[in-house]
């Protein structure tokens, strides 16, 4: 017969071996192959969101987080300032959705660009109010595809432009080593910007804190910014982490991309989930339960004696 301490050790080992199998709870998933459940708020009429777009026609490989049963190489194609020569931007959001507490937004993104007028922005965020076309609600982050801005990586708190020194890199410039070392030039892209490659955006909400990261298909990750919705010492009005998710695309400039149709963004596999508990947290909870159970067994044994 095992002693109480021996039983505890065996049970704890069993707990440790099962922790990695714990799955996160998925709250929302969309393959971006049907726009019926999505709303759009746009600054003007010269932009487009084409759902169920077959991006294999452009020689673009399958997004990294597609799963079995998904429509292959299908997502939403994003375009802005197609021909008007005026700045255009818009936000997509799933109608009727709202998220609160601790959760995580992830989506796969690709940015394509041509030979001229190519600097456009793609990103998204959480805490969206379902009404604004721009980045004035919740926690948001965007980037250029071609490294063509002095502020390639941008984070915002309800429209407040987070200072360069408050970004994780201490800069917004994509050519700086923090970004360029993580995103070297591939397929003709500019180092430090995610052009011509898949990356996964992640917004990890923990209380009032939002960690914004990008992830490469091999699993390597880079922290872009840590935003605190309760902190107004930076001059912001803070933000709420409760609300909808948002997907953002913009051309803030007047130049029209050349050749026509060559500059666009893609988004696929939009997921909101409750992150799985950490191994240490699970072990702590499990160990506490085992200790309580062990004490109960000891008390029961003492009663019998």
Nearest to 113 by CA among 188, 57, 198, 201: 188
In this predicted model, what pLDDT tens digit does every residue of 131-176 receive, in sequence order? 999 999 999 999 999 999 999 999 999 999 999 999 999 999 999 9
Read off the pLDDT of each residue in 230-247 and give the average, rounded to a whole number.
98
Query: Cα(83)–Cα(140) distance, rounded to whole angstroms?
Result: 27
Nearest to 89 by CA among 275, 269, 253: 253
More confident residue, 257 or 250: 250
pTM, to two decimals: 0.85
Read off the pLDDT of each residue in 13-23 and give the average, rounded to a whole number.
45
Look over the chain and give the mean of its residue pLDDT values, rounded to a whole number: 88
Residues 6+ positions from 59 with CB-CB distance below 8 Å: none
Minimum mean pLDDT range among 13-17, 52-56, 176-180, 273-277: 13-17
All structural domains of the chain, each given as residue ranges with its CATH number in brackets, are 1-23+278-305 (no CATH), 25-275 (2.60.120.560)
Quick check: 4 pLDDT over 50?
Answer: no
Residues 6+ positions from 219 with CB-CB distance below 8 Å: none
Which two structure tokens, joined as six digits, stand for 150?
A: 């002095």
DSSP category for residue 233: T
């Amino acid at each position: 017969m095992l002693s109480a301490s021996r039983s505890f050790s065996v049970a704890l080992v069993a707990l440790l071996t099962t922790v990695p199998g714990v799955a996160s709870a998925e709250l929302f998933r969309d393959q971006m192959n049907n726009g019926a459940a999505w709303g759009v708020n746009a600054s003007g009429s010269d932009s487009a969101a084409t759902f169920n777009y077959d991006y294999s026609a452009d020689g673009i490989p399958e997004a990294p987080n597609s799963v079995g049963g998904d429509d292959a190489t299908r997502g939403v194609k994003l375009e802005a300032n197609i021909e008007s020569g005026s700045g255009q931007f818009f936000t997509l959001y799933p109608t009727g959705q709202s998220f609160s507490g601790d959760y995580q937004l992830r989506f796969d993104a690709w940015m394509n660009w041509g030979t001229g007028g190519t600097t456009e922005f793609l990103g998204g965020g959480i805490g969206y109010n379902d009404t604004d076309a721009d980045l004035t609600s919740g926690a948001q982050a965007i980037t250029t595809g071609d490294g063509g801005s002095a502020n390639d990586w941008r984070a915002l708190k309800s429209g407040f432009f987070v200072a360069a020194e408050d970004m994780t890199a201490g800069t917004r410039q994509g050519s700086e080593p923090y970004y360029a070392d993580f995103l070297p030039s591939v397929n003709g892209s500019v180092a430090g910007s995610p052009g011509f490659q898949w990356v996964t955006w992640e917004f990890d909400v923990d209380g009032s804190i939002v960690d914004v990261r990008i992830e490469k298909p091999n699993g390597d990750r880079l922290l872009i910014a840590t935003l605190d919705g309760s902190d107004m010492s930076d001059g912001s009005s803070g933000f709420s982490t409760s609300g909808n998710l948002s997907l953002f695309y913009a051309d803030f400039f007047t130049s029209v991309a050349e050749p026509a149709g060559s500059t666009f963004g893609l988004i696929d596999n939009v997921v909101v989930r409750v992150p799985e508990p950490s191994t240490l947290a699970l072990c702590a909870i499990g160990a506490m339960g085992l200790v309580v159970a062990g004490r109960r067994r000891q008390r029961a044994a003492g009663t019998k004696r």
